[in-house]
Structure 1
């Protein structure tokens, strides 16, 4: 408790029953003690808020804390549920559960974005804001109620509805990693050629050509280089799936 008090220097007393308080209570399944933590979990950096010491007030520090809490709870669950899993297996499974794609899905399902306080339009938010908010929310729970409540929330909102270990074993979180690993094992030269491809949409796009053994095997375009590379890798994976999955 001493550490928590140093972080925000606020008393942990129940606060009013306003609209936001009631919304948080309904979402959490228990009453918040310090609503300020949850309010901070939805403040976007564009708000440019600072405390009396000039420190930024937004959800990014809570995001860091929530990421650590989420990882710890998921790791403990996997350790308990898969007694035969070695370190590499457990690490890979945890990565699948806390992947950016999955965290974004969790944030969207809870519709956390509706509480964001920002000076920019929602259309300018990146896709990852959903996952970032979810992590920040987990951080707020930890500061407000401690590890036990934090663990309970993660179990009910993440593990029970989303963690199916047999299904997760077959889930691919990065086609690019699979393709690169296959190329490296087979000593096949590969190259991602990235270029701007704005087309007619009016929004900046990037095109990617993936070459393996000096032949273009897949092309893709997306709103970021990373997405375009992943999409091209996915197409290459399905083109060579039988060979890539061959033991």
Structure 2
């Protein structure tokens, strides 16, 4: 019980203790607090149970991801009877995109509850989405499927799942641009290189060429982000042509 007591007492803010904060986020009382304590424990804490198994949010993140997928898939299946497997898969991906999950976790302020030996400022953006998935996993273990489904409807489906808007939402500009180039028999090339600027953080720059001509440039803290940013800029250059293809 030392583990539970320490974490419970260490997670307080102006709104009250950890139990109160979690209850306010959930909208109902948690029964077994240890699930939620695990959901906000980072692996850097190096905490283990009596059997030597690590205690952190990563396993709950896996479970929460599965629960989100199941509840949202069920909702889309019932709401869009005309949608085939490919359509429903794409729509579900848009709802549970990493960008959207990060936004949900950030809006709930979940990072403020994290127990970690790493300064919060050093976490990447994905920590917010990871915590949201872990929280969903904790709800499932604590209160079962119905409470988990209710929470997902309240926080995800009701405020964000608009079928018409989702149909026009782009998850990955890079994937869309590559698919368009392949369909239109166009060549494309992402020329990525280290950007030795004056920033403290390492950056990467990219030049995106289509049919041998540079159509956009971008710069970001990772190759993936730089490519996505360049792809988005290229998308708006070719938006009319792309819309005719799709």
Q: TM-score over 0.5 for the alignment? A: yes
Q: When the two structures are superposed, what TM-score results if normalisation uses the length of structure 2?
A: 0.92
Does residue 244 (structure 1) correspond to residue 212 (structure 2)? The answer is no
Shifted more, 191-200 versus 61-70: the winner is 191-200
Does residue 191 (structure 1) correspond to residue 204 (structure 2)? The answer is no
In structure 2, C-alpha distance between the alignment counterparts of 1:56 and 1:128, rounded to whole Å: 21
Does residue 178 (structure 1) correspond to residue 183 (structure 2)? The answer is no
In structure 2, C-alpha distance between the alignment counterparts of 1:121 and 1:111, rounded to whole Å: 16
In structure 2, C-alpha distance between the alignment counterparts of 1:145 and 1:152, rounded to whole Å: 11
Does residue 107 (structure 1) correspond to residue 105 (structure 2)? The answer is yes
Does residue 125 (structure 1) correspond to residue 114 (structure 2)? The answer is no
In structure 1, C-alpha distance between the alignment counterparts of 2:28 and 2:232, rounded to whole Å: 42
Secondary structure in structure 1 of the residue aligned to 2:78: helix
Unaligned runs of 5+ in 1: 1-14
Paired residues, what number?
Answer: 232
In structure 1, C-alpha distance between the alignment counterparts of 2:163 and 2:244, rounded to whole Å: 22
After TM superposition, the structure 1 = structure 2 runs for residues 92-241 of structure 1, keeping only pairs within 5 Å, are: 92-241=90-239
In structure 2, C-alpha distance between the alignment counterparts of 1:221 and 1:165, rounded to whole Å: 33
Q: When the two structures are superposed, what TM-score results if normalisation uses the length of structure 1?
A: 0.91
Deviation at 1:198, TM superposition (A): 3.4
In structure 1, C-alpha distance between the alignment counterparts of 2:153 and 2:127, rounded to whole Å: 22
Secondary structure in structure 1 of the residue aligned to 2:209: strand
Secondary structure in structure 1 of the residue aligned to 2:244: coil
Runs ≥4 in structure 1, deviation > 6 angstroms? none
Unaligned runs of 5+ in 2: 1-7, 10-15
Secondary structure in structure 2 of the residue aligned to 1:49: coil
In structure 2, C-alpha distance between the alignment counterparts of 1:124 and 1:112, rounded to whole Å: 15
Deviation at 1:186, TM superposition (A): 1.5
Match of 1:8 in 2: none
Secondary structure in structure 2 of the residue aligned to 1:194: strand
In structure 2, C-alpha distance between the alignment counterparts of 1:198 and 1:151, rounded to whole Å: 48
Does residue 65 (structure 1) correspond to residue 63 (structure 2)? The answer is yes
- How well do the aligned residues superpose, as a CA RMSD in angstroms? 1.4
